Chains A and B, each alone.
Chain A
Amino acid sequence: GDSVTQMEGPVTLSEEAFLTINCTYTATGYPSLFWYVQYPGEGLQLLLKATKADDKGSNKGFEATYRKETTSFHLEKGSVQVSDSAVYFCALGSGYSTLTFGKGTMLLVSP
């Protein structure tokens, strides 16, 4: 079945550091890939998505590229801020099946 594997957290960075959160997936067919962010006490918010191979999703300075050859969708940001501290979830959706989420990676950014 479909599955998503994310790097374990927490990821601890200083402000303005470069961020990478790794995500790899297993799926049948050609899934759509998503990154969601969850701030403390809130629900999940869609951060970015990519629907086909080589697509790059981007939003709020975050980027992720759909790499079919490595079955990956790593999240990157060039310069993180304290306000980026949150839990980040990688997810995939195949066809009309429901989204499958990874376990989440907590990001902590210090001033």
Chain B
Amino acid sequence: EAGVAQSPRYKIIEKRQSVAFWCNPISGHATLYWYQQILGQGPKLLIQFQNNGVVDDSQLPKDRFSAERLKGVDSTLKIQPAKLEDSAVYLCASSPSQDRADGYTFGSGTRLTVV
């Protein structure tokens, strides 16, 4: 089966600019996650979708980050305006359900550098 697709792979922007990332999960996977992975740390959840509804966005910095999952398939994550501390790898993952025993399938990530 095709994996989780993410684009772009790399992005360099100046602070205060905006940027958007795109994710296409595995077909049929109802649950989609966006994680932020800062260099040397484990992934930190930003937002979780179940179909096209938000389940958990408690750790999303809503003053600058937004995400949507239209039609319950693809998702986009946006940062506006970007700060230097947003430099990280943004990982998208999907799973068949909310049952944690399924584990997640991750995409290759988008590496964002804010200068």
| A positions within 8 Å CB-CB of B | 4, 31-32, 34, 36, 41-46, 49, 51, 89, 91, 93-99, 101-104
| B positions within 8 Å CB-CB of A | 4, 6, 33, 40-45, 48, 56, 91, 93, 98-101, 103-109
Q: A43-B6, A89-B43, A98-B45 are in contact. List 10 more A-B contacts (CB 8 A).
A: A32-B100, A34-B103, A43-B4, A44-B43, A44-B106, A94-B100, A98-B33, A99-B100, A103-B41, A104-B42
> Which of B56, B93, B100 is close to A31, meaning CB atoms less than 8 Å apart?
B100
> Which of A43, A98, A99, A102 is close to B107, meaning CB atoms less than 8 Å apart?
A43
Q: Which residues of A contact B99 (CB under 8 A)?
A: 96
Is A101 in contact with B43, judged by CB distance below 8 angstroms?
yes
The 3 closest A-B pairs by CB, nearest first: A93-B100, A101-B42, A43-B106
Is B101 in contact with A98, judged by CB distance below 8 angstroms?
no
Q: Which residues of A contact B105 (CB under 8 A)?
A: 46
Is B101 in contact with A93, judged by CB distance below 8 angstroms?
yes
30 contacts between A and B (CB under 8 A): A32-B101, A32-B103, A34-B103, A43-B4, A43-B93, A43-B107, A43-B109, A44-B91, A44-B93, A44-B106, A45-B106, A46-B103, A46-B104, A49-B101, A89-B43, A93-B101, A94-B100, A95-B100, A96-B100, A97-B100, A98-B33, A98-B48, A98-B100, A99-B104, A101-B42, A101-B43, A102-B42, A103-B40, A103-B41, A103-B42
